[in-house]
């Protein structure tokens, strides 16, 4: 691993841990929204239209000669959105979204003057392997967003370290509720993917981390009994919702058929609240008034100039966004590997 390059992926500050981020009443209302408005689709189902598209997009990652099967890509973690962009979708939890305490936390984390909530979602799950996929969350830049730019390019831009001036300042407050006996924590690499990870350990009940997940590798720790982490019959269209027969319990269904029942103590609930942060009035105005936006031309100008400085030979591509050789070159020069060190597999916690 190129240690100097790996150092780019470090958050603005060490994550801060906060206990009891939501009151019991807020937690009950958040969970109420999840219970009353489900069942909820897999995280993956939010990103891909169907199983074929998922396999086509990700099968490059599996070794040659291995036939891609849907199960290799499925993870039984389900998601719903509590806001649409900056608008809270459920009035009964609007105090959790437009939350002064959260805004204070992210402003303090960044040492910034201004912040606004810009997204809220939840993940729900039972037992899950989940720990094998550390990642950084996708981000955006002034003038460059998901609406006009492919994710690979924005991810590459982050890893070059050349576009920090334009990168959105973001922070999240992520909260967990999990009482299970095995794993279920949060693993993160605050000092970079070349250093050892840290872990927030379960059981957690309203413990939260203030983070910048766009600049820090992170992943869920595996949780629950190992033999229950991949329910038979899990499909792209599986759903998770309350078990109508057991109060507090949950179930996963595939096309109407129950494939797994999850007791309350194996239920893991994550609430993700995100904000945009502006260090000062200048930065806020520059963003809102679009006085310093990036364009695609400017991005490639900057990249080509940097390649020249590094002495990397590269002809100016006529269509850089779709030039496979150019994209591969960017990956070679700026790629940052996944983390070097992983925590051991979680063991069962003794009762009491
Ligand atoms: Fe993430």
For residue 310, count CB atoms less than 10 angstroms from its CB and return exposed for 0-12, middle for 13-18, buried for 19 or more. Answer: exposed
Q: What is the pLDDT of residue 45?
A: 87
Does a structural domain hold residue 20? yes
Task: Tell how far the Cα of 6 is from the centroid of ligand 1, in angstroms.
Answer: 18
Q: What is the pLDDT of residue 191?
A: 97
Does a structural domain hold residue 36? yes
Task: Tell how far the Cα of 15 is from the centroid of ligand 1, in angstroms.
Answer: 14
Task: Tell how far the Cα of 219 is from the centroid of ligand 1, in angstroms.
Answer: 7
> What number of helices (H) and strands (E) belong to the chain?
10, 15
Task: Tell how far the Cα of 220 is from the centroid of ligand 1, in angstroms.
Answer: 9
Task: Tell how far the Cα of 348 is from the centroid of ligand 1, in angstroms.
Answer: 25
* Bridge-based pairing state of the strands 218-220 and 257-262: unpaired
For residue 123, count CB atoms less than 10 angstroms from its CB and return exposed for 0-12, middle for 13-18, buried for 19 or more. Answer: buried
pTM of the predicted model as reported, rounded to 2 decimal places: 0.92
The CATH number of the domain holding residue 258 is: 2.60.120.590
Does a structural domain hold residue 345? no
Does a structural domain hold residue 300? yes
Task: Tell how far the Cα of 218 is from the centroid of ligand 1, in angstroms.
Answer: 6
Task: Tell how far the Cα of 324 is from the centroid of ligand 1, in angstroms.
Answer: 27
Whole-angstrom distance, CA of residue 191 vs CA of residue 56: 34
In 3-state terms the chain splits into helix, strand, coil percentages (rounded to 5) of 30, 25, 45
* Bridge-based pairing state of the strands 268-278 and 87-88: unpaired
Does a structural domain hold residue 244? yes
Task: Tell how far the Cα of 253 is from the centroid of ligand 1, in angstroms.
Answer: 25
Q: What is the pLDDT of residue 103?
A: 98
Domain that holds residue 89: 3-334
Task: Tell how far the Cα of 217 is from the centroid of ligand 1, in angstroms.
Answer: 8
Q: How many domains does the chain have?
A: 1
- Rounded to a whole number of angstroms, the distance between the first and last alpha carbons of the chain is 42
Does a structural domain hold residue 344? no
The C-alpha angle with vertex 118 and arms to 112 and 124, in degrees rounded to 5, equals 120
Task: Tell how far the Cα of 318 is from the centroid of ligand 1, in angstroms.
Answer: 34
Task: Tell how far the Cα of 272 is from the centroid of ligand 1, in angstroms.
Answer: 10
**DSSP conformational letter for 143:** T
Protein residues near ligand 1, an ion, with CB under 5 A = 137
**DSSP conformational letter for 236:** T
The CA-atom distances, in angstroms, between 325 and each of 80, 157, 179, 305, 316 are 37, 17, 49, 18, 11
Task: Tell how far the Cα of 101 is from the centroid of ligand 1, in angstroms.
Answer: 22
Task: Tell how far the Cα of 317 is from the centroid of ligand 1, in angstroms.
Answer: 33
Does a structural domain hold residue 208? yes
**DSSP conformational letter for 164:** T
Q: What is the pLDDT of residue 69?
A: 65
Whole-angstrom distance, CA of residue 118 vs CA of residue 121: 11
Full pLDDT tens readout for the chain, 352 residues? 788 899 999 999 999 999 999 999 999 999 999 999 999 999 988 877 777 776 666 555 555 666 666 667 789 999 999 999 999 999 999 999 999 999 999 999 999 999 999 999 999 999 999 755 888 998 999 999 989 998 889 999 999 999 999 999 999 999 999 999 999 999 999 999 999 999 999 999 999 999 999 999 999 999 999 999 999 999 999 999 999 999 999 999 999 999 999 999 999 999 999 999 999 999 999 999 999 999 999 999 999 999 999 999 988 899 998 888 998 899 899 988 889 999 998 988 876 5
Q: Three-state SS for 152?
A: helix
Task: Tell how far the Cα of 136 is from the centroid of ligand 1, in angstroms.
Answer: 6
Task: Tell how far the Cα of 138 is from the centroid of ligand 1, in angstroms.
Answer: 8
Does a structural domain hold residue 348? no
């Amino acid at each position: 691993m190129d240690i100097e390059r790996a150092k780019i992926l470090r958050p603005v500050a060490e994550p801060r841990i906060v206990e009891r981020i939501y009151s019991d009443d807020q937690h009950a209302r958040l969970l109420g929204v999840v219970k009353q408005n489900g069942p909820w689709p897999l995280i993956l189902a939010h990103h891909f239209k169907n199983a074929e598209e998922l396999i086509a997009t990700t099968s490059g990652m599996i070794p040659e000669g291995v036939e891609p099967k849907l199960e290799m890509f499925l993870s039984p973690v389900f998601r719903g959105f509590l806001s649409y962009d900056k608008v809270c979708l459920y009035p009964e939890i609007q105090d959790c979204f437009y939350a002064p305490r959260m805004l204070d936390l992210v402003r303090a984390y960044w040492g910034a003057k201004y912040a606004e909530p810009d997204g809220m979602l939840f993940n729900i799950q039972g037992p899950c392997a989940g720990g094998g996929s550390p990642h950084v969350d996708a981000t955006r830049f002034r003038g460059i967003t998901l609406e006009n730019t492919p994710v690979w390019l924005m991810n590459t831009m982050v890893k070059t370290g050349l576009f920090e001036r334009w990168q959105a300042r973001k922070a999240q407050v992520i909260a967990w509720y999990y009482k299970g006996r095995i794993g279920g924590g949060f693993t993160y690499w605050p000092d970079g993917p070349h250093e050892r990870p840290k872990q927030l350990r379960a059981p957690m009940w309203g413990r939260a981390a203030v983070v910048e997940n766009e600049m820090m590798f992170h992943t869920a720790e595996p949780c629950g009994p190992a033999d229950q982490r991949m329910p038979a019959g899990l499909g792209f269209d599986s759903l998770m919702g309350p078990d109508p027969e057991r109060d507090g319990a949950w179930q996963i269904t595939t096309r109407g058929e129950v494939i797994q029942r999850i007791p309350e103590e194996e239920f893991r609930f994550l609430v993700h609240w995100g904000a945009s942060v502006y260090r000062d009035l200048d930065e806020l105005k520059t963003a809102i008034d679009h006085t310093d936006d990036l364009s695609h031309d400017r991005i490639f100008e900057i990249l080509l100039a940097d390649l020249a400085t590094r002495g990397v030979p590269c002809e100016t591509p006529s269509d850089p966004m779709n030039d496979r050789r150019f994209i591969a070159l960017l990956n070679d020069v700026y790629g940052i590997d996944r983390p070097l060190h992983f925590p051991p597999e979680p063991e069962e916690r003794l009762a009491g």
